[in-house]
């Protein structure tokens, strides 16, 4: 069990590709298990995960991506790069603002509540409802070249472009710079679940952080005086009790919105299309009963959570499931494990499109830090699947092209490529 968990943390491709047997064994034998390799407790039962997520008095979100071990690969690479005079300007950015701001994902109450209240309007249902025609048009535009062929690579040709374009439009930036935004997003999310990156990847991270902050910092200044109907304007003009957000908070928020607004939805769309290709009967079920599409998405989130789980830190000596946790120790609360807990979900390793309690999954977290963009992600996925099924059919895997390689993260789980064939609906 320990060896398998260590393999997952080490980002072994086989373990990342199918971590669920590891989670199942942990849940049965050691549901609150300390990992020496991770330097944290691993939490796999649904009820335990829910307990930790909801108790903000005992558990902090200040380090949601895990223990900040000063001797891991990221820290060592930073030490080495700090010796390079040419990198000084990038370290200045890292130390000065968004990299260190406790905001939303990595903030505790009451700051988290203040920040969330300030930007809730950016994701209000009426705003997202108004985005539906835009989401439909973006999807149609992406499907146009797909209709001219008989096969596609799902990630690069569809699953990246859709959420990347939508979050750019929602933020209020031009889509001509999508490649740059995607580069920034990939570089900024790189440390998540990847504690031992190469020095080149850490250099790219620092360079992208500076580029992001300069670009969006200028836009924030502009939108403070000339706001429009977009997320950047909402953030730039946000106030709670006559108190504005500071620059570091605003930049960190926009960074989280850009990254979370595309990375997780890309993985969700890829997983859903993979499921359609694996189960040939699903297409007909969804076409004959379109109302099932929403539950198809929820079951997809339960079955393969794009975010495997995040971390919490104990604020005090406490217990979870009768296991003693010391103040300062971290817990990896694994959504993907909770989502397959047989105490909650019958036949959890089966994909059941009509599962009645599929929406009880924890793919978007739960409690105080429930994903602020969950409604947008669901809306994008629903429109994407509806239009996909209206344009192509008989989706099948092209096995000779598929290597089934996953991104190098034990927290984020997504295929690098997925090749499928299909017939175009005339």
Query: Look-up: residue for tokens 């997520």?
Result: 53
Share of the chain above pLDDT 70, in %: 98
Can you point out the beta strands (E) in 40-91?
40-43, 59-60
- Backbone torsions φ then ψ of 313, nearest 5 degrees: -120, 135
Number of domains the chain contains: 1
Question: Which pLDDT band holds residue 2 (cuts at 50, 70, 90)?
Answer: confident
Interval 25-52 mean pLDDT = 97
Question: Which pLDDT band holds residue 71 (cuts at 50, 70, 90)?
Answer: low
Nearest of 14, 70, 38, 53 to residue 193 by alpha carbon:
38
Q: Give the tens place of pLDDT for each residue, 175-224.
A: 899 999 999 999 999 999 998 899 999 999 999 999 999 999 999 999 99
Is the peptide bond prior to 110 cis by the omega test (within 30 degrees of 0)?
A: yes
Give the pair of three-digit tokens for residue 175. Answer: 């889509």
pLDDT for residue 1 is more than 80: no
Question: Which pLDDT band holds residue 100 (cuts at 50, 70, 90)?
Answer: low
Q: What's the pLDDT at 195? A: 86
The CATH number of the domain where 415 resides is what? 1.10.630.10
25-32 contacts at long range (C-beta below 8 A, 24 or more positions apart):
25/1, 26/1, 26/337, 27/337, 27/341, 29/1, 30/1, 31/321, 32/320, 32/321, 32/323, 32/325, 32/331
Interval 364-388 mean pLDDT = 98
Nearest of 262, 263, 227, 253 to residue 119 by alpha carbon:
253
Q: Is 17 helix (H, G, I), strand (E, B) or coil?
A: helix
Q: Give the tens place of pLDDT for each residue, 122-140.
A: 999 999 999 999 999 999 9
- Most confident segment among 50-54, 74-78, 115-119: 50-54
Nearest of 192, 232, 352 to residue 281 by alpha carbon:
352
pLDDT for residue 77 is more than 80: yes
Give the pair of three-digit tokens for residue 402. Answer: 């598929």
Give the pair of three-digit tokens for residue 204. Answer: 């790219």
Distances (CA, A) of 50 to 38, 324, 333, 335, 363: 21, 17, 9, 9, 12
Beta-carbon count within 10 A of 378 CB: 19
Give the pair of three-digit tokens for residue 360. Answer: 């009880």
- Report whether 198 contacts 78 (CB < 8 A): no
Nearest of 32, 66, 25 to residue 49 by alpha carbon:
32
Q: Give the tens place of pLDDT for each residue, 393-402.
A: 999 999 999 9
Q: Is 127 helix (H, G, I), strand (E, B) or coil?
A: helix
For 270, the domain range is 2-424
Cβ within 8 Å of residue 231, ≥6 positions away: 119, 122, 170, 171, 172, 254, 257
Interval 301-307 mean pLDDT = 98
Q: What's the pLDDT at 264? A: 96
**Packing angle of the helix pair 247-278, 161-171 (nearest 10 deg):** 150
Q: What is the pTM assigned to this prediction?
A: 0.96
- Report whether 64 contacts 106 (CB < 8 A): yes
**Alpha-carbon span 131 to 380, nearest angstrom:** 10
Question: Which pLDDT band holds residue 310 (cuts at 50, 70, 90)?
Answer: very high
49, 53, 56, 60 alpha-carbon torsion, rounded to 10°: 90
Residue 353 burial by CB count (10 A; 0-12/13-18/19+): exposed, middle or buried? buried
Interval 98-123 mean pLDDT = 88
């Amino acid at each position: 069990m320990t060896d398998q968990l260590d393999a997952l943390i080490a980002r072994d491709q086989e373990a990342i590709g199918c971590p669920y047997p590891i989670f199942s064994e942990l849940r049965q034998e050691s549901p609150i298990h300390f990992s020496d390799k991770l330097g944290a407790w691993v939490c796999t039962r649904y009820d335990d995960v829910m307990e930790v997520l909801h108790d903000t008095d005992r558990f902090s979100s200040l380090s949601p991506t895990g223990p900040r071990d000063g001797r891991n690969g990221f820290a060592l690479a930073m030490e080495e790069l700090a010796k390079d005079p040419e990198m000084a300007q990038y370290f200045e950015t890292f130390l000065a603002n968004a990299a260190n701001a406790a905001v939303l994902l990595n903030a505790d109450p009451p700051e988290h509540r203040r920040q969330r209240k300030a930007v809730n309007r950016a994701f209000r249902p009426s705003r997202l409802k108004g985005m539906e025609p835009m989401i439909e048009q973006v999807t149609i535009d992406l499907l146009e070249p797909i209709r001219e062929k008989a096969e596609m690579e799902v990630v690069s040709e569809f699953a990246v472009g859709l959420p990347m374009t939508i979050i750019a439009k929602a933020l209020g930036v031009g889509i001509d710079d999508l490649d740059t935004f995607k580069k920034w997003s990939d570089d900024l999310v790189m440390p998540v679940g990847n504690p031992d990156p190469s020095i080149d990847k850490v250099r790219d991270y620092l360079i992208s952080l500076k580029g992001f902050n300069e670009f969006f910092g200028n836009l924030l200044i502009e939108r403070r005086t000339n706001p429009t109907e977009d997320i950047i304007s909402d953030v730039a003009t946000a106030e709670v009790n006559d108190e504005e957000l500071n620059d570091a908070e605003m930049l960190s928020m926009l960074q989280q919105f850009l990254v979370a607004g595309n990375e997780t939805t890309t993985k969700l769309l890829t997983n859903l299309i993979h499921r359609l290709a694996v189960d040939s009967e699903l297409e007909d079920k969804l076409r004959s009963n379109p109302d099932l599409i929403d539950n198809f998405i929820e079951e997809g989130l339960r079955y393969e959570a794009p975010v495997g789980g995040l971390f919490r830190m104990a604020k005090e000596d406490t217990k979870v499931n009768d296991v003693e946790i010391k103040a300062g120790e971290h817990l990896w609360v694994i959504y993907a494990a909770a989502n397959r807990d047989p105490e909650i979900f019958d036949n959890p390793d089966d994909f059941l499109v009509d599962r009645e309690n599929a929406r009880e999954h924890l793919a978007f977290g739960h409690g105080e830090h429930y994903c602020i963009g969950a409604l947008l992600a669901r809306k994008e996925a629903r429109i994407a699947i509806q239009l996909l099924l209206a344009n192509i059919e008989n989706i099948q895997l092209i096995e000779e092209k598929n290597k089934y390689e996953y991104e190098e993260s034990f927290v984020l789980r997504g295929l690098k490529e997925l090749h499928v064939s299909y017939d175009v609906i005339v």
